[in-house]
Amino acid sequence: MTPAGTFSLPASHPMFAGHFPGNPIVPGAYLLALVEQRANDWLRKQGEVTRVNGVSAVKFLRPLRPDEICEIAFGAPAGDRLRFQLQVGGAPCAGGTLTLQARPASDG
């Protein structure tokens, strides 16, 4: 896995008001959308001509809470697959496999 940066979501983000009051966690769908965006940026920087097309598998190992610093890493693309891993304080938070497709020329 190659480290690809960190991110943190502030407790003031509106999504935490309803997910869940008194025990806020980042929704899985929001987390996967963020992973997809980061993966596409990372693939472009690596000179890859692919982009994320979907999620093949994901396992959430612990909730991600507001203001936690989450590290993201990607494995080398293997065919039409890209592995990802999220960690907080060195402990796994989530991981899985994204599916890839060729990036359109207009998506340069």
The whole-number pLDDT of residue 103 equals 80
Contact indicator for 64, 86 with CB cutoff of 8 Å: yes
Q: Where are the beta strands (DSSP E) in the chain?
A: 2-7, 50-60, 70-74, 81-88, 91-102
Query: pLDDT digit string (tens) for 2-26?
Result: 999 999 999 999 999 888 888 999 9
Give me the number of domains the chain comprises.
1
What confidence tens digit (pLDDT) does each residue in 43-101 have? 999 999 999 999 999 999 999 999 999 999 999 999 999 999 999 999 999 999 999 99
CATH number at residue 36: 3.10.129.10
The pLDDT value given to residue 17: 87
pLDDT of residue 95: 98
Q: Residue 64 sits in which domain range? A: 2-107
pLDDT mean over 20-38: 94
